[in-house]
């Protein structure tokens, strides 16, 4: 079974996954800090991760993922944890969540 290694700030979480399982599902199982606000439906983009090794062993980004993070994932190495499916061993950097900017209206208060 494929192994997913999650890393953040010198910490490490290792998950053994079923082929086709998402990175977010694997992270949840081992309590790696991949964030989500939408519970994995592809709406929040808080689950962004950076692939350190094994991009070719993840599913190809679909149209939803390309719409959300752009077509330069092969340059940035970024993927959405809820969309990327695991088909072999990969090493993943868990990125810090980017919180939505406050709206102009809320800044006036
Ligand atoms: S968990 Fe919300 S977009 Fe991936």
User: Tokens 């959300």 label which residue?
Assistant: 68
Ordered by start, the domain boundaries in the chain are: 3-97
Q: Which of 40, 20, 53 is nearest to 80 (CA)?
A: 40
Q: In this predicted structure, what is the pLDDT of residue 106?
A: 56
Nearest CA, atom 2, ligand 1: 44
**Residue 34 dihedral angles phi and psi, to the nearest 5°:** -75, 125
Q: Which atom number of ligand 1 is nearest to the Cα of residue 45?
A: 3
Q: In this predicted structure, what is the pLDDT of residue 30?
A: 98
User: Tokens 């519970």 label which residue?
Assistant: 39
| Whether residue 33 has its Cβ less than 6 Å from ligand 1 | no
- CATH superfamily label, 3-97: Beta-grasp domain (3.10.20.30)
- pLDDT of residue 101 exceeding 80, the answer is no
Cα of 26 from ligand 1 centre, angstroms: 14
Q: What is the spatial distance between Cα 69 and Cα 80, in angstroms, rounded to a whole number?
A: 8
pTM for the model stands at: 0.88
């Amino acid at each position: 079974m494929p192994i997913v290694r999650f890393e953040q700030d010198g910490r490490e979480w290792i998950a053994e996954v079923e082929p086709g399982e998402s990175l977010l599902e694997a992270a949840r199982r081992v309590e790696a800090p991949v964030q989500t606000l939408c519970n994995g439906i592809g709406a929040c983009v808080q689950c962004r991760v950076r692939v350190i090794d094994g991009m070719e062993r993840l599913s190809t980004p679909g149209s939803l993922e390309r719409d959300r993070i752009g077509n330069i994932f092969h340059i940035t190495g970024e993927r959405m944890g809820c969309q990327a499916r695991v088909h072999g061993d990969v090493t993943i950097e868990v990125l810090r969540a980017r919180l939505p900017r406050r709206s102009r209206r809320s800044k006036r208060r």
